[in-house]
Structure 1
Amino acid sequence: MPRAARETEILSLACRAFGEAGYVAVSMADVAAAAGISKPLIYNYFGSKEGLFASCLRFAGDLIADDIDRTAEAGQVGLARALVTLEGIFEVLEERRWIWRLFFDTTRPASQELDAIVARYTARLTERAAEGVAEMLAAAGNADPLDAEALAAVWASVFDTLVVWWLGHPEVSAAEMTRRSARLFVAVTLDGDAAQRVLAEVGGA
C-alpha cells in the first residue's frame, strides 16, 4: 500500500480511537493493532503519540472546515445558510461522529502545537460564522458591528450545542437532525408562512 494511503488508513483508525476513548486511554499499540501494522511503523510515520494526535486534529479539522467552506460558497443567506451549514456537518459526521470530540478532549496534553491547531480551525469556523451573520444582518438593514459580534457568538454556541446534542443521540440520522434543527429555528425566528417555506427546503417536518 502506498504511504499516503497507509497514513490515511492509520489516521482514520486513530481518530476513531481518540474520539471514542480520549487521548489518555489510547496507546500506540492499540492503533497499530487496529491497523494491522507494527508499532514502530506508526512512530516512523508520526514520530510520537502526540504527533499522531496532531495529525488526527488536522485530518478531522480539514473534513469539517472544508465542508463549511463548501456550504458557505453555495450562495445561501441567513437562516437558509445556517441550515445548509448544519446539514453539511451532520452529513460529514454521520458515519464518524467521534471526529467532533477530538477538539474537546480534556485528556490531551498541554501543548503549544495542539493548541495552535485547535485555534487555527476554530478561527476558520469563526470567520465563516461572522460572514454569515453579517450577511443576515445586512439583509435586515443592520450594520452594527457589535450586533454582528454578539450574534456570531450566539450562533457559535447554538451550532456547537446542536452538534453535541446530536452526538448523544446516535439513533437520530443526519437528515432527521437537519429537519429538527429547521423546526427549532423557525419556531423561534419566523412567522408561519416563512416557516413552511424553510421546512419545505429541508424535506419538511
Structure 2
Amino acid sequence: MPRAEREAQILVVAEQVFAERGYQATTMEDVAERVGVTKPLIYEYFGSKEGLLSACIVSARGQLRDATERSWAAVGDDAELIDIFRAGVRAFFDFIDQHRNAFLLIQQEGVMAAQTSPLIESIREQQSAATAATLGAAPGLSSVPPEVLEGYAEVIVGACERIAVWRGRRPDVTAADATELVVATVWSGLASQLTTS
C-alpha cells in the first residue's frame, strides 16, 4: 500500500482508538494491532503517540474545512445569506456527527498534550476565518467592517462548538435541531448588519 494511503488508514483507526480508550490509555501497539501493521511503522510515520494525535487533529481540520466549503458551494452563488449561514452551521454538525467520539475526546482531554492545544485552536481559527470571508462576500454585508464580521464569525464558531458539546449529553438533539438553534440565536444580530443597497 502506498505510504499516503497507509497513513490515511492509520489516522482513521487511531481516531477510533483514541476515542474509545482515551489518549492516556491508548498505546501505539493498540493502533498498530487494529490497523494490521507493526508498531515501528507507526513510529516511523508519526514519531510518537502525541505526533499521531496531532496528525489526527490536522486531518480533521482539513476535512472540516472541505465539508464547510462544499456546503457553501452547494447553496449556489445566488443564495440568500440565511441559507449560506444555515448550510455552514449544518456542515459543522454533520461533521461532528461523523467524528462524534473524537470530538468529545478532544473536548474532554483538550489539555492532554501541549502540542495539540494549538492545533485544536487552529481548527477554530480556520473556521472563523472561512466564515468571516464567506460573510464578507455575501450580498448586503460587503460594507460591514471586517472586524465586525470577524466578531460574528467567532460568535458562530463558539456557538456551534458549545452546542456540539451539549449535544454530547443530549443524543436526542439532531444535527438539524442544533443547526436551527444556532441560526435562530445568531441570525437576528447578523441580519441587522444587512444593507439593502
Q: What is the distance in 1 between the residues matched to 2:164 and 2:93?
A: 8
Q: What is the distance in 1 between the residues matched to 2:186 and 2:114?
A: 40
- Give the unaligned 5+ runs of structure 1: 191-205
Q: What is the distance in 2 between the residues matched to 1:150 and 1:157?
A: 11
What TM-score do you get using the length of structure 1 for normalisation? Answer: 0.72
CA RMSD after TM alignment? 3.0
Residue number in structure 2 paired with 1:160: 161
What TM-score do you get using the length of structure 2 for normalisation? Answer: 0.74
Deviations 1:103-141 (CA, angstroms, capped at 9, x unpaired): 543343213xx45533443332111221244456x6278
Given candidates 111, 120, 128, the residue that maps to 1:126 is: 128
Q: What is the distance in 2 between the residues matched to 1:119 and 1:188?
A: 22
Deviations 1:3-55 (CA, angstroms, capped at 9, x unpaired): 33322221111112223443222111221222233222211222211221121
- State whether residues 92 and 160 of structure 2, in contact with CA within 8 Å, keep that contact through their aligned partners in structure 1: no
Q: What is the distance in 2 between the residues matched to 1:97 and 1:17?
A: 13
Indicate the SS of the match to 1:139: coil
Residue number in structure 2 paired with 1:29: 29
Residue number in structure 2 paired with 1:181: 179
Mapping of residues 40-189 of structure 1, within 5 Å = 40-74=40-74, 75=77, 76-101=79-104, 103-104=106-107, 105-111=109-115, 114-134=116-136, 139=140, 143-172=144-173, 176-182=174-180, 185-186=183-184
- State whether residues 22 and 108 of structure 1, in contact with CA within 8 Å, keep that contact through their aligned partners in structure 2: no
- State whether residues 68 and 85 of structure 1, in contact with CA within 8 Å, keep that contact through their aligned partners in structure 2: yes
- State whether residues 14 and 56 of structure 2, in contact with CA within 8 Å, keep that contact through their aligned partners in structure 1: yes
Which range is displaced more, 150-159 or 9-18? 150-159
Residue 78 of structure 1 deviates from its aligned partner by: 2.8
Residue 64 of structure 1 deviates from its aligned partner by: 0.7
Assess, with a 3 A threshold, how the Cα gap between structure 1 residues 4 and 171 changes in structure 2: closer, same or farther.
farther
AA partner of residue 64 (structure 2)? I
Q: What is the distance in 2 between the residues matched to 1:11 and 1:180?
A: 28
Residue 171 of structure 1 deviates from its aligned partner by: 4.6
Sequence identity (%): 28
- State whether residues 71 and 88 of structure 2, in contact with CA within 8 Å, keep that contact through their aligned partners in structure 1: yes
AA partner of residue 129 (structure 2)? E
Q: What is the distance in 2 between the residues matched to 1:10 and 1:188?
A: 38
Indicate the SS of the match to 2:8: helix
